[in-house]
Amino acid sequence: MTSLTKAAIKKSFLKILNSKPIDKITVKEIVEDCGINRNSFYYHFDDIPSLMEEIFNDQADEFVSHSFSPENLYDSIMEAVAFSLENKTAIFHVFNSPNRQFYDRYLNRVARRTVTEFIYSYTNGLKNIKDDDREALVMYYKSLLIGFVFDWINNGFQYDLSLKVKRICELFEGTFELAIDRCGE
């Protein structure tokens, strides 16, 4: 029963966060939305920031634990930003709050996993690539991915992220392969 209560608290909080900023959300509002008492909330969480941190950790854990074989960089990126796309308003509220570090850690972890999976999948079997070169590629593409998302949020979601990323991938098609070729030098 406690895992159901905890899940209900998380679901209620995320629902409310998708409609209003964090500083306007109260524990009372969360418990009323999910039909529990305050003691049940405090049994599971110390406060709203600890609830938020656990939600982002859960999302990152879930993402990192499932396996996927991205066929191209665009698909990898879109897989990484799916949660952010589904919860744009909530992400905006977190991004513009004192608790932003929870989202930053989440995005960093998800971006690293996505890019690492793509690069290691793409370079599997290529013997001339050093681990240092692979790691440099991961750092570069992870930073790009995080930059795309930060720009999208900072601009208030004024453009379609999936279309913009798709176009960027088209414009830079071949540059990843060129970098891989240079790894053998």
Task: Please determine, for residue 149, whether its predicted confidence score (pLDDT) is greater than 90.
Answer: yes
At residue 2 the predicted structure's pLDDT band, cuts being 50, 70 and 90, is: confident
pLDDT at 12: 96
Task: Please determine, for residue 68, whether its predicted confidence score (pLDDT) is greater than 70.
Answer: no
At residue 119 the predicted structure's pLDDT band, cuts being 50, 70 and 90, is: confident
pLDDT at 1: 54
More confident residue, 84 or 68: 84
* Neighbouring residues of 18: CB distance < 8 A, sequence distance ≥ 6: 87, 89, 90
Task: Please determine, for residue 161, whether its predicted confidence score (pLDDT) is greater than 70.
Answer: yes
pLDDT at 74: 83
d(CA 79, CA 182): 27
More confident residue, 183 or 100: 100
Is 0.85 topped by the overall pTM?
yes
Percent of the chain scoring above 90 in pLDDT: 58
Lowest mean pLDDT among 27-41, 76-90, 143-157: 76-90
Nearest 5°: the CA angle 41, 42, 47 is: 95
CB-facing half-sphere around the CA of 121: CA atoms within 13 A: 14
Task: Please determine, for residue 125, whether its predicted confidence score (pLDDT) is greater than 80.
Answer: no
CB-facing half-sphere around the CA of 25: CA atoms within 13 A: 26
Q: What is the mean pLDDT of the chain?
A: 89
More confident residue, 46 or 81: 46
pLDDT at 173: 87
Dihedral (Cα; 159, 162, 168, 173), 10-degree rounding: -170
In the DSSP assignment, the letter for residue 68 is -
pLDDT at 128: 79
Residue with tokens 């890019």: 115
pLDDT at 49: 95
